[in-house]
């Protein structure tokens, strides 16, 4: 799991979203940034999480937060996810896992007795200067906004 912790400088990531637009840490200087990693677009838990963040998007904006979702899905899958659930924030299509690995959220997982490598559902709250304010590894998919906007 991630070795990043509160007080660390966030990784200087660079990735492309569902439309091919580039996003870097520097793009968000002066804003708080919520980077949420999820295993797979359009699966039940990931949909619940994304929709909870969508439903609270105005609250995030009012508090100077930007949101950025990341998974290893293709840009096409991310675009479908956004379209289907009317998500107002970009989703990085991190197929080469460069952002996922920079944040250290790729690793061994267990599900129904099987072990495999995958994305650990983790959220990083990054302050206006690129410093990690919080790492949420116990994500509550249906109440994730409340975990972030305490």
Residues identified as active-site: 46
**Do the Cβ atoms of 136 and 52 come closer than 8 Å?**
no
Pair 53, 67: CB distance under 8 Å: yes
CA distance to 25, 95, 109, 138, 143, per residue, from 147 (Å): 22, 28, 23, 10, 7
Cβ atoms of residues 96 and 112 within 8 Å: no
Task: Give the alpha-carbon dihedral of 20, 51, 40, 122, to 10 degrees.
Answer: 100
DSSP β-ladder status, 65-71 and 91-93: parallel
């Amino acid at each position: 799991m991630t070795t990043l912790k509160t007080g660390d400088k966030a990784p200087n990531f660079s990735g492309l979203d569902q439309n091919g637009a580039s996003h870097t840490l520097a793009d968000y200087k002066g804003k708080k940034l919520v980077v949420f990693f999820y295993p797979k677009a359009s699966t039940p838990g990931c949909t619940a999480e994304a929709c909870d963040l969508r439903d609270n998007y105005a609250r995030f904006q009012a508090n100077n937060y930007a949101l950025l979702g990341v998974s290893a899905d293709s840009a096409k899958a991310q675009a479908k996810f956004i379209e289907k659930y009317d998500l107002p924030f970009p989703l990085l299509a991190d197929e080469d896992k460069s952002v996922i690995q920079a944040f250290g959220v790729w690793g061994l997982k267990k599900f129904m007795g099987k072990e495999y490598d995958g994305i650990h559902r983790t959220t990083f709250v990054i302050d206006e200067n690129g410093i990690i304010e919080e790492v949420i590894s116990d994500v509550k998919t249906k109440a994730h906004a409340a975990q972030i906007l305490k």
